[in-house]
Amino acid sequence: AQKITQTQPGMFVQEKEAVTLDCTYDTSDPSYGLFWYKQPSSGEMIFLIYQGSYDQQNATEGRYSLNFQKARKSANLVISASQLGDSAMYFCAMREGSGRGFKTIFGAGTRLFVKA
């Protein structure tokens, strides 16, 4: 069975600083993908960034980057220059299966608080 672990229930960061949210995963499938989603207090789920297991470079999307260490099975999200609006729950997720049987399983989430 595949598994996603987010060990930080809550994190604090000062505005304008960078923060790393940890995610480790467990899979025996050589082909997999990792996603990060943001859930603000308003409740919607927002896709942030994707990393494929065969991708040669770490993914980046604006202020978001993924520190992907395949041998360690970790896919940490780095948010640079934190903003007050980054305060939210962040979920790491992994693709399981392919084609029509594709499903996404989620970690327990990390709540990020950005301090002014």
Partner 1 sequence: DTAVSQTPKYLVTQMGNDKSIKCEQNLGHDTMYWYKQDSKKFLKIMFSYNNKELIINETVPNRFSPKSPDKAHLNLHINSLELGDSAVYFCASRSDGQNNSPLHFGNGTRLTVT
Instruction: Report the interface residues with partner 1, using CB under 8 A.
Output: 31, 33, 35, 37, 39, 43-45, 47, 50, 52, 89, 91, 95, 98-106, 108-109
Give the angle subtended at the CA of 25 by the CAs of 103 and 66, to the nearest 5°: 95
Nearer residue to partner 1 within complex by CB, 15 or 62: 62
Q: Looking at the chain, how many residues does it have? A: 116
- Residue 23: is it exposed, middle or buried by C-beta count within 10 angstroms (0-12/13-18/19+)? buried
Nearer residue to partner 1 within complex by CB, 43 or 85: 43
Nearer residue to partner 1 within complex by CB, 49 or 114: 49
DSSP β-ladder status, 110-115 and 60-61: unpaired
Nearest approach, Cβ of residue 16 and partner 1 (Å): 27
